[in-house]
């Protein structure tokens, strides 16, 4: 036993904590309610390490074990790969493949052209990942562009699905989930109404992503929960002539099969059968899933219409949101830093970054390597990264966003209460 191993044991660290010495921690990639994600170097190369504070999930440790179990079972080219895990007295560490190619929309904006045909093949990669999950009785429950990452900066890089923090492994293919999940604007109506949900929620989210990718705006645009629920329940998807006239009918049909308010009416992603291919003397999966077999995903009927102007317009509107996210992210990291235990009595051994604003800036610039917001001091004489008026607008939006969050939380609780009462009341 090495001196380090002995020291860790004397400090009451779990046996797996010895693995931490293999990693050299780098910049912050993101932060959430339970912890942060940091880049790290090891002998196998760069990895991403999700660090979860145990005190933040006390009583819900099973969610970490579920995520670990799922990640270790997943082996697919379009799903982020599990690397390792270990724990300390007060934290869990989940190590995964590091995707360095940027988020979906950011990466597209860096290209000179992005056609409907390109979009069909991009969505096909996502759907193949979703199909793999569903075949293995896993529901992701948080499909959104931010969780779709390119593995490498190269043009030929694959797209991978990441962040399985709220994914669920079903005990049976028909199991009904009841906990709230998903992100505002991408969550299916049955989640928001607490009616119970399953694999179909991922198909709804994919429909929203596809729509947004093809026109640069969301099919459901209400900024209140009640309004969004009403829009989703109504299920009337509008393809405005100005933005959709050059997009194929097959693309619209594909979206229509996914954005069905009734989950039973949505296209599924279930494998229908397998066949033996005599010619190559090997087993080959023939996927006849309702969604995957859609003609639009072959690219044959997709147009060469360039979608880039609409997508860039969408991302331009997202710039101010990035500023708001910078403030929120810094606040989350600061809160996590304050909660972190000084467990190692070693200077600089803390996992939460010391410079909160710089870490938040790193996280946003990691998602978009060329479009991150500068947060560190600049040399004298250079123009500040954020104009005074923009900083003022961001502050105003942060305040308004906080007010909206409080109102949304109140509205969400009211809608949940009414939905629960309706579910419990005897039907006439």
Rounded to a whole number, what is the distance in angstroms from the first to the last CA of the chain? 71
- Residue ranges with strand state E in 230-310: 273-277, 282-286
Compute the mean pLDDT over every residue in the chain, rounded to the nearest whole number.
78
Q: How many CA atoms lie within 13 A of 313 on its CB side?
A: 12
Third-level CATH fold of 115-305:
Transferase(Phosphotransferase); domain 1 (1.10.510)
**If pLDDT is split at 50, 70 and 90, which confidence band does 252 have?**
very high
Which is more confidently placed, 140 or 428?
140
200: alpha, beta or left, given left = phi > 0 and alpha = psi -120 to 50? alpha
Task: Reduce the DSSP state of residue 115 to 3 states and report it.
Answer: strand
Q: Which stretches of 341-380 are assigned E, i.e. beta strand?
A: none
Q: How many CB atoms lie within 10 A of CB 390?
A: 14
Predicted local distance difference test score (pLDDT) of residue 279: 37
What is the length of the chain? 428
Q: What is the model's pLDDT at position 377?
A: 35
Does residue 280 register a pLDDT over 70? no
Q: Answer whether 135's CB lies under 8 Å from 144's CB.
A: no
Q: Catalytic annotation on 142?
A: yes
* Candidates 106, 142, 202, 351; catalytic one: 142
Looking up tokens 């305040």 gives: 399
Alpha helices, DSSP H, located in 141-199: 189-192
pLDDT in tens, 35-75: 788 999 999 999 999 999 898 888 888 888 888 989 999 99
Q: How far apart, in whole angstroms, are the C-alpha atoms of residue 28 and residue 38?
A: 4
Q: At residue 118, does pLDDT exceed 70?
A: yes
Tell whether the model's pLDDT for residue 260 goes beyond 80.
Answer: yes
Reply yes or no on whether the pLDDT at 388 is more than 60.
Answer: no
**pLDDT value of residue 6:** 57
Q: What percent of the chain has pLDDT over 90?
A: 37
Q: What is the pLDDT of residue 330?
A: 65
Tens of pLDDT, residues 76-113:
999 999 999 999 988 999 999 999 998 888 888 888 88
Q: Which two tokens stand for residue 355?
A: 């410079």
Separation in Å, CA 315 to CA 109, 209, 247, 393: 8, 14, 20, 18
DSSP-derived secondary structure letter, 65: H
Q: What is the pLDDT of residues 175-206, one digit of tens each?
A: 899 888 888 889 999 998 888 999 999 999 99
* Pick from 29-33, 158-162, 291-295, 373-377: least confident: 373-377
- The candidate with the shortest Cα–Cα distance to 250, out of 239, 260, 236, is 239
Please give the class, per CATH, of domain 3-99+317-367: alpha beta
Q: Does the structure show a pLDDT above 60 at 383? A: no
| 54 labelled ligand-binding | yes
Q: Looking at residue 111, what is its pLDDT?
A: 81
At residue 348 the predicted structure's pLDDT band, cuts being 50, 70 and 90, is very low
* Closest to 90 in 3D by CA, of 281, 344, 316, 268: 344
Question: Between 108 and 381, whose confidence is greater?
Answer: 108
Residue 353 has pLDDT above 80, yes or no: no
Tell which residue, 39, 55, 62, 37, has the closest CA to residue 163.
Answer: 37
pLDDT bracket for residue 369 (50, 70, 90): very low
pLDDT at 416 over 80: no
- What pLDDT was estimated at residue 86? 95
- The residue whose two tokens read 């051994």 is 349
> Environment class of residue 257 by beta-carbon count within 10 Å: exposed (0-12), middle (13-18) or buried (19+)?
middle
The β-bridge partners of 94 are 50, 85
Output the six-digit token pair for 176.
Answer: 């009904």
* Token representation of residue 268: 């599924």
Residue 189 has a pLDDT of 93
> How far, in Å, CA of 405 to CA of 164, rounded?
24
Angstrom CA distances, 227 to 180, 210, 412, stand at 18, 21, 11
Strands 138-139 and 91-97, bridge-based pairing? unpaired
Q: How much is the pLDDT for 386?
A: 46
Q: Both tokens of residue 212?
A: 């947004």
Rounded (5°) CA angle 179-185-188: 45
Task: Express each pLDDT in 281-304 by its tens digit.
Answer: 333 344 335 677 788 998 888 999
Closest Cα partner for 140 from 235, 86, 71, 228?
A: 71
Give the per-residue pLDDT at 414: 75
In a 3-state reduction of DSSP, which class is residue 77?
Answer: coil
Helix (H) or strand (E) holding 225: helix 225-234
pLDDT at position 271 over 70: no
Q: For the chain, how long is the longest CA-to-CA vector?
A: 74
Q: Left, alpha or beta for 224 (phi > 0: left; psi -120 to 50: alpha)?
A: beta
Dihedral-angle region of residue 151 (phi above 0 means left; psi in -120 to 50 means alpha; beta otherwise): alpha
Question: Which residue matches tokens 């030929």?
Answer: 156
Q: What was the pLDDT predicted at 283?
A: 32
Query: Which tokens in the block code for residue 330?
Result: 């810094």
Q: Kindly state the percentage of the chain with pLDDT values over 70.
A: 68
pLDDT at residue 392 tops 70:
no
pLDDT band at 241; cut points 50, 70, 90 = very high
CA distances to 29, 68, 350 from 22, in Å:
19, 19, 16
- pLDDT in the model for residue 336: 67
User: Which pLDDT score, from 0 to 100, does residue 327 have?
Assistant: 62
Question: CA torsion sign, 299 to 303 to 306 to 309?
Answer: negative
- Is 50 exceeded by the pLDDT of residue 345? no
Domains in the chain: boundaries: 3-99+317-367, 115-305
Amino acid 1: pLDDT: 55
Total Cβ atoms within 10 A of residue 393: 15
Residues 240 and 211: beta-carbon distance below 8 Å: no
């Amino acid at each position: 036993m090495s001196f380090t191993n002995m020291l860790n044991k004397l400090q009451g660290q779990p046996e797996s904590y010895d693995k931490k010495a293999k990693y050299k921690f780098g910049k912050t990639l993101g932060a959430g309610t339970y912890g942060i994600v940091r880049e790290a170097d090891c002998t196998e190369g760069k990895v991403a390490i999700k660090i979860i504070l145990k005190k933040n999930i006390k009583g819900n440790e099973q969610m970490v074990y579920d995520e670990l179990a799922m990640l270790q079972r997943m082996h697919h080219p379009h799903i982020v790969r599990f690397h390792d895990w270990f724990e300390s007295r007060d934290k869990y560490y989940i190590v995964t493949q590091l995707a360095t190619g940027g988020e979906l929309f950011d990466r597209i904006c860096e290209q000179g052209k992005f056609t409907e045909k390109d979009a069909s093949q991009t969505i096909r990669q996502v759907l193949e990942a979703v199909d793999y999950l569903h075949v293995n009785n896993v529901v992701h429950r948080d499909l959104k562009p931010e969780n779709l990452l390119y593995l490498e900066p190269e043009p030929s890089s694959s797209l991978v699905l990441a962040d399985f923090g709220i994914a669920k492994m079903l005990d049976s293919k028909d199991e009904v989930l009841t906990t709230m999940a998903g992100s505002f604007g991408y969550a299916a109506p049955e989640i928001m109404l607490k009616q119970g949900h399953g694999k179909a929620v991922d198909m709804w989210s994919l429909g929203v992503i596809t729509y947004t990718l093809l026109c640069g705006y969301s099919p459901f645009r209400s900024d209140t929960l009640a309004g969004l629920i009403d829009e989703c329940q109504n299920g009337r998807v509008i393809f405005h002539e100005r933005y959709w006239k050059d997009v194929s009918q097959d693309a619209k049909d594909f979206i229509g099969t996914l954005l069905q308010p009734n989950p039973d009416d949505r296209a599924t992603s279930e494998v229908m059968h397998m066949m033996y291919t005599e010619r190559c003397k090997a087993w080959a999966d023939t996927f006849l899933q309702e969604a995957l077999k859609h003609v639009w995903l072959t690219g044959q009927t997709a147009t060469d219409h360039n979608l880039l102007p609409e997508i860039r317009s969408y991302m331009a509107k997202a710039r101010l949101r990035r500023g708001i996210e910078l403030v929120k992210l810094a606040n989350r990291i600061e809160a996590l830093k304050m909660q972190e235990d000084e467990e190692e009595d070693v200077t600089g051994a803390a996992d939460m970054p010391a410079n909160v604003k710089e870490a938040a800036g790193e996280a946003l610039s990691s998602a978009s390597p060329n479009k991150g917001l500068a947060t560190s001091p600049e040399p004298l004489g250079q123009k500040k990264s954020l104009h005074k008026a923009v900083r003022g607008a961001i502050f105003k939006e942060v305040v308004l966003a906080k007010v909206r969050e409080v109102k949304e939380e109140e509205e969400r609780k009211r809608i949940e209460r009414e939905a629960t009462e309706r579910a419990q009341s005897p039907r006439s």
